[in-house]
Amino acid sequence: MPPVSGRALRTAAVLLPAGLAAAHIGPAATWLPGVRLLLFPGLAGTGRRRHIALTFDDGPDPASTPRFLDALDALGARATFFVLGEHVVRHPELVRETVRRGHELGVHGWTHDRPWRPAFARDAEEVARTVRTVHDLTGHRPRWYRPPYGILTTSRWLAARRAGLRTVLWSAWGRDWTADATPASVRARIAADLRGGGTVLLHDSDRHSAPDCWHTALAALPAIVQDCRTAGLTVGPLRDHGPGPVRGRSAGG
């Protein structure tokens, strides 16, 4: 084997970090609906054909989450709430109340940070810490993981697998976190992508989005649930969604 030149070593030194970065952020391509629905139906939250999984991100939030719990009670519907660990420890009674009302909790991470730099040890610890915290408070161990911003990286995927969680994103969203969203626009966006077996994403908090946007999601919620039921679809949490989320190819396990 010929000796390795200094130029080759310098080139390798540049390419290796670039390669690691690509490997880290590569799974983020699943954020694209076309990629996710076609290649990773489990990651898109595809479940039973006559069921819709209703999910909420970014809570718990004492200013808004109770309003969603009341609205869901009035609708006779249950959902999966993807919670952030740092808010769980601040509002433990609200977390317990969510479970007491029949809802399911999933892991959204410890904080709502951006994932651009590889952080295998940190991601593993923060996901596991959130799982432990939810379990200690409620007696129920979470089954699901959704990364902040819906951006899946290799380290977040591995962290979820190590914690025994299945990663699930969504198949329909209302863009309810934006400042220009209205109840009608949220409903219309979800209706455009609403299919039996789908997973709907909304937000029960505005901590990481436009101020007061949760009012828009809350106002749209009754019509969204009614649209599902009019189409002959049941609405519930991911735990009732059937085998779809774990069947076929899945970037989350």
Task: Cite the DSSP H helix spans in the chain.
Answer: 6-25, 33-39, 65-75, 85-88, 92-100, 120-138, 154-162, 183-193, 214-230
CATH code of residue 88: 3.20.20.370
Q: Is pLDDT above 70 for 249?
A: no
26-35, 44-53, 63-72: least confident range: 26-35
- Number of residues written out for the chain: 253
The answer to whether residue 253 is domain-embedded is no
The answer to whether residue 193 is domain-embedded is yes
Q: 150 pLDDT band (50/70/90 cuts)?
A: confident
Asked if 249 and 66 touch (Cβ cutoff 8 Å), the reply is no
Q: From CA 54, how far away is CA 79, in angstroms rounded?
A: 5
Asked if 75 and 52 touch (Cβ cutoff 8 Å), the reply is no
The answer to whether residue 6 is domain-embedded is no
Main-chain dihedrals φ then ψ at residue 90, nearest 5 degrees: -85, -25
The answer to whether residue 12 is domain-embedded is no
Residue 77 confidence (pLDDT): 98
Catalytic residue among 24, 87, 108, 203: 203
pLDDT (average), residues 148-155 = 87
The answer to whether residue 147 is domain-embedded is yes
Catalytic: 108? no
The answer to whether residue 15 is domain-embedded is no
Question: If you write DSSP's letter for every residue of 10-71 in order, what string do you get?
Answer: HHHHHHHHHHHHHHHHGGGGGGSHHHHHHH-TTTTT---TTEEEEEEEEE--TTTHHHHHHH
16-30, 56-70, 178-192: least confident range: 16-30
The answer to whether residue 137 is domain-embedded is yes
Q: 3 pLDDT band (50/70/90 cuts)?
A: very low
Catalytic residue among 24, 51, 57, 206: 57
Pick 30 or 204 by higher pLDDT: 204
Residue 118 confidence (pLDDT): 66
Structural domain span for residue 50:
27-246
Residue 35 confidence (pLDDT): 57
Judge if pTM exceeds 0.75. Answer: yes
Catalytic: 193? no
Q: From CA 3, how far away is CA 16, in angstroms rounded?
A: 19
- Quote the number of domains for the chain: 1
The answer to whether residue 21 is domain-embedded is no
Coil/strand/helix, residue 157: helix
Q: From CA 222, how far away is CA 111, in angstroms rounded?
A: 29
Residue 119 confidence (pLDDT): 76
pLDDT (average), residues 84-91 = 98
